[in-house]
Structure 1
Amino acid sequence: MMETSLPLATITPSQFITLKKINRLNHCRLLHTLHLRVAVLDSPAAKADDESPVIATLIVPKNMETDWNFCTESGHKCLLFKFGNLSRLILIGNTPPPDQELDEYKPPPEIDTEEREMVKDKLKPLIRALHPKVSFNHGLLPEPLFLIYEDNVVYRVTIAKFTGAIVGEFLVEDVELVGDHQLRRRLRFKRTPSLIQSEVILHPLSHVVITTPRDLESLRNNETVTFEPNTRVFVQQYLNAMVSGLSVIASYLDRYRNPLALCLGIGGGVLLNFMLTEMRYHVTGVEADPMVLDAAKRHFGFNRSGPIQVFYPIIEDAIEYVRKSQLNKQKFQVVFVDLDASEINDEFRAPPPEFFKKIVLRGLRFLVARNGVLIMNVVPLNRLLYASMIQELKELFHKVYEINLENEDNFVVIATATPVASSNVDDSDNNFLKKLKSLIPRTYMNSIVEL
């Protein structure tokens, strides 16, 4: 039996340990550094007395050792929750260069299946040594479970780094995706590195005809080329779903020339820009960290003028704004909640858990105008808590609806404040609805289900 060294001999909820191991494999195409970086994280939901813990290992992709996903505890947590139902996740990769972060990434050539299996076989003794003792209770050596990290990025470059007083470190990166040189600009936070906070289509512009290849790396090396973010079309599905939620009060919104919208959370400003420029709303935005707003203005084409108010400076700003809603006589035809949890947890990735307290939900209800609507982006990891939140909303609002983005474990929750005249999505007399249909795919409106 392989003896597991303490403290890894037992599963300990939220335990995180990193260590270096001499690289006896020395595989030049995958694991090549003198020492390997090994990181072990136990799930916060794991049970110390579990007799059948699920242990899995992920080999860190070559050239991504300094990406936040693989070199930080927050990134490790994101990966653990992404794969789900794990008791312990083990990462094994090359030792990252000291004081160096990933600024540019190109995936290495693929290694064939036979070669990869050989690497796995040689890692098995190390992985078994990182299993808890309970894994050996039946007198057999545990067979290591290997996970595969999939990424559709063929080229990535960091174009700006920021440190906000509230959100901490974050970056703006340009990426090229697999297939037909699809270019994107993304905003990512170090505290939740696997979550893309904002993403937009990126257009290359030039005053001369571009004759070089149109891949991102070549375009960046062309001095005549500049890049412009396109905020008129949503890349992220949940934003299409959030805006489609307006259809439930279309009969009401058709009366307004410039309805009022409140956006709790700005990020790259994608939703706010869309509501301002495409939907012609008057928008109030609430953001805790001024550096996030600065990044939105510099790199995401965020509207520098117009009827926008931004509230900060403390991280509780959005929540405090809602709690103080009764002091603010302004009401809104739509209140959007687009905020991620500040830390990875086993309950919700979005919004912060504080938003499900009754005092906050009541504040949200107070901010919604008569016949208005609350629209929330919700990413629940705990379905029982999600069901409880829905019940709370049903008690405070007239009707509650849901759009289930099944492939993303993402829900958009829509709550109407008061009875609204029925809105038929095929009603050709409703100008607001016609505009909405011209901008948002109808599949999202057709996916709205009353709860």
Structure 2
Amino acid sequence: MALDASTFETLTPSRFISFTIPHPTCSNSTLRVAVLDSPLQPSDSPRVGAMWVPEGREKDWIFSTELGHLQLLLSSPEISRLILIGNHLKEGTLSFSSRVVYHRPLECSSHQQGFEVWSKPLLLALCPRSLFKRGFPEIPLLSYEDNLVSSVVVDECVGCCVGEMLVEDVEIENGGGVLHHGREFRRRLRFKRMPNLIQTEICIVSEIDGGGGGGGDLDGVCIGGDVGFVPNLEVLVHPYLGPMVAGLVLNSGYVEGRIQNGFRPKALCLGIGGGALLTFLRTQLGFEVLGVDSDREVLRVARKYFGFEDSEFIRVVVGDAFESLKRLACRGKLNGCSSFDDCEINGFGGHLVEDEVNVKFDVIMVDLDSSDVRNGTSSPPLEFVGKDVLLAAKLVLCEFGVLVINVIPPSRSFHDNLLSHFRDVFHDLYKIDVGNCENFVLIATVSPLVFSVKDCGNSFLMRLKSVIPEAFINSITKI
């Protein structure tokens, strides 16, 4: 159906339209054009921005879905209308299932060359009439840049709670992490509901490298090639996980005492994702870990692709994190435990009883978000800030326990309200800046804690400092 030429003369909040046109300079080629108006009310002087879809990534949810388009628009808050233009793929190819390997082009394609010139008449035709009050408007050409060198989708699946998701192996520009002779490989989990957000990311190493991250001739190793990859879980590469673990410095003296008395420290993790945090706590720091996640499919993906394994010291529960926390606080029970044969739990080590018990944790780590691209990502969800949930968290923590939360504040009021609610329940609050201008880690203590980052006699602290960048530990500040 032909578009009415007047369709684009006005801004209509959240309106999304896509269509195809012949390429103006390349015969036998067509372009996909997508136009999205901001959900926010336009200002008195609205602006239109345009972006060329990187060649080879036309199928990526970031560029092929309305939600991906919206994330791009919201990342440029001054833009009232965003126009995406890219190569049009044939019907039926907007799926990742073809497993086509993406490699970042070394130079602009012939289709992209001259984009600024040949696109101008089209972009002017797609501008609202109000932009012409002072002559022809300037339309900034936005660029999309990330660290992706190559990628291939490993699996696509659907979770009952998170919806469509995909697992992909990628090579990224080296950022100083785990190296493959100057090369860096990751495995990622992404959800379609937030296409431009990496939910989970771990290091992977080639099978010929023996899983060690060093040695072996890797010249022929590439994403999508004949050589497979395996998870390397010895380091945390997701930006906020290292700072979350660094929060254990606050009660490291208490944890050291428990270890010296023959006890394993206990951690409760709300939100499992790929399981990297749980695995790290167990293997690198000797914790017994209980994880809670609402989506069985996410757990399947974690086990199959991200190296997550249930063991004597890692148990998982499928269920709502908040309800599970409140049950645990009230009765020491968790109902609906998929990994415990639907029995109630008594802490760890496989002991299953029906009696009410008093399970106490040394740390609760919360990695939950309210991922709605239309409202922006916020973490933790508003439900977690409820006094009943915070009191439940305090009740299941030991006297010197800490609550560690990944926080993404969508607004200043969210930030201030969050701190106010936590101050009503917990004794002291601390903060670690993640350094990405988006997340910070909030640490709440049940009791006043005295700690020193220079206690050389604390073997747990020394171990912690050996596996977590000391910059995170030194940046802990009381708020």
Normalised TM-score (structure 1): 0.88
- Residue in structure 2 matched with residue 77 of structure 1 by the alignment: 70
Once residues 401 and 5 of structure 1 are traced to their aligned partners in structure 2, the CA distance between those partners, rounded to angstroms, is: 56
Residue-by-residue CA offset, 1:415-435 (whole Å, 9 max, x unaligned): 112212x10101112222111
> What's the CA shift string for 1:267-313, capped at 9, x where partnerless?
11000000111111111101111111111111111123223332225
State the 1:9 CA deviation.
3.3
- Alignment pair present for 1:260 and 2:266: yes
Asked whether the 8 Å contact 1:347–1:380 carries over to 2, the reply is no
CA 1:217–1:20 in structure 2 vs 1: closer, same or farther (change >3 Å)?
Answer: same
Shift of 1:338: 0.7
CA distance in 2, matches of 1:126, 1:310: 54
Measure, in 2, the Cα distance between the counterparts of 1:261 and 1:108.
45
Deviations 1:65-87 (A, max 9, x none): 10111111221222223344433
Gaps (5+ residues) in structure 1? 27-31
The answer to whether the 8 Å contact 1:65/1:93 transfers is yes
3-state DSSP class of the match of 1:184?
Answer: strand
Distance 1:331 1:85 in 2: 49
**CA separation of 1:77/1:362 partners in 2, compared to 1, >3 Å: closer, same or farther?**
farther
State whether residues 369 and 380 of structure 2, in contact with CA within 8 Å, keep that contact through their aligned partners in structure 1: yes
Counterpart secondary structure, 2:257: coil
Equivalent position of 1:66 in the other structure: 59
Deviations 1:341-392, CA, capped at 9 Å, x for gaps: 2322435343333323344333333333322111111122322212221121
**Residue 353 of structure 1 aligns with which residue?**
382
Instruction: Give secondary structure in 2 for the equivalent of 1:206.
Output: helix
**Pick aligned residue for 1:159 from 144, 154, 163:** 154
Q: Offset of 1:403 from its aligned partner?
A: 1.4
2:41 alignment counterpart: 47
Aligned partner of 1:188 in structure 2 is: 190
The aligned residue for residue 122 of structure 1 is 118
CA separation of 1:145 and 1:364: change in aligned 2, threshold 3 A: farther
Q: Secondary structure at the match of 2:9?
A: coil
Query: How far, CA to CA, are the matches of 2:269 and 2:112 in structure 1?
Result: 47
Aligned to 2:104: 107
- Counterparts of 1:25 and 1:380 in 2: how far apart (Å)? 45
Does 2:394 correspond to 1:365? yes
Match of 1:134 among 130, 136, 150: 130
Alpha-carbon spacing, 1:133–1:391, altered in 2? closer, same or farther (3 Å): farther
1:391 aligns with 2:420: yes
Q: 1:200 to 1:127 in 2, by over 3 A?
A: same
Alignment of 1:297 with 2:303, yes or no, is yes
- State the distance in 1 between where 2:405 and 2:28 align: 46
**8 Å CA contact 1:265, 1:318 repeated in 2:** yes
- Cα 1:348–1:63 change in 2 (3 A) is closer
Aligned letter for 1:300? F
Q: Alpha-carbon deviation of 1:15?
A: 2.7
Amino acid at match of 2:222: L
Quote the Cα distance in structure 1 between the aligned partners of 2:308 and 2:245: 18
CA distance in structure 2 between the partners assigned to 1:35 and 1:185 by the alignment: 33
Determine helix, strand or coil for the equivalent of 1:186: strand
CA-based RMSD of the aligned residues comes to 2.5
Q: String of CA shifts for 1:197-228, please: whole Å, max 9, x gaps.
A: 1111111123999656243148x32xxx4422
Find the counterpart in structure 1 of residue 462 from structure 2.
434
Deviation at 1:5, TM superposition (A): 4.8
Q: Give 1:210-289 correspondences, 5 Å limit.
A: 213-217=219-223, 220-221=225-226, 225-257=227-259, 258-289=264-295
Q: CA deviation at 1:408?
A: 4.4
Contact 2:167–2:188 under 8 Å retained in 1: yes
Letter in 1 for 2:385: F
Secondary structure (helix, strand or coil) at the match of 1:36 reads strand
What letter corresponds to residue 161 of structure 1 in structure 2? E
Output the amino acid matched with 2:391.
Answer: R
Partner Cα separation in structure 2 for residue 85 and residue 327 of structure 1: 51
Please tell me whether the aligned partners of residues 288 and 314 of structure 2 are also in contact (alpha carbons under 8 angstroms).
Answer: yes
Q: Which runs of 4+ in 1 moved over 4 A?
A: 4-7, 114-117, 207-212
Aligned partner of residue 240 in structure 1, secondary structure:
helix
Q: Percent identity?
A: 39
What is residue 444 of structure 1 aligned with on the other side? Answer: 472
Cα displacement string for residues 175-203 of structure 1 (whole angstroms, at most 9, x for unaligned residues): 11235221111111111121111111111
How many pairs align?
431
1:323 to 1:87, Cα distance in 2 relative to 1, 3 A: farther
Any idea what SS the aligned residue of 2:280 has? helix
For residue 259 of structure 1, report the CA deviation from its aligned partner: 1.3
Separation of aligned partners in 2, 1:268 and 1:367: 24
Q: 1:437 offset after TM fit, Å?
A: 0.6
CA distance in 2, matches of 1:394, 1:6: 54
Structure 1 counterpart of 2:353: none
**What secondary structure, in the 3-state scheme, does the structure 2 residue paired with 1:376 have?**
strand
2:407 aligned with 1:403: no
Q: What SS does structure 1 have at the residue aligned with 2:230?
A: strand
Following the alignment from structure 2 to structure 1, what is the Cα–Cα distance between the partners of residues 242 and 152? 27
- For 2:203, the aligned partner's letter is I
CA displacement at 1:22 relative to structure 2: 3.3
- Closer/same/farther in 2, CA of residues 18 and 202 from structure 1, 3 Å limit: same
Query: Which amino acid in the other structure matches residue 461 of structure 2?
Result: L
> Judging changes above 3 Å, is the alpha-carbon distance between structure 1 residues 434 and 190 closer, same or farther for their aligned structure 2 residues?
same
3-state SS, counterpart of residue 14 of structure 1: coil
5+ residue gaps, structure 2, are: 175-181, 333-357
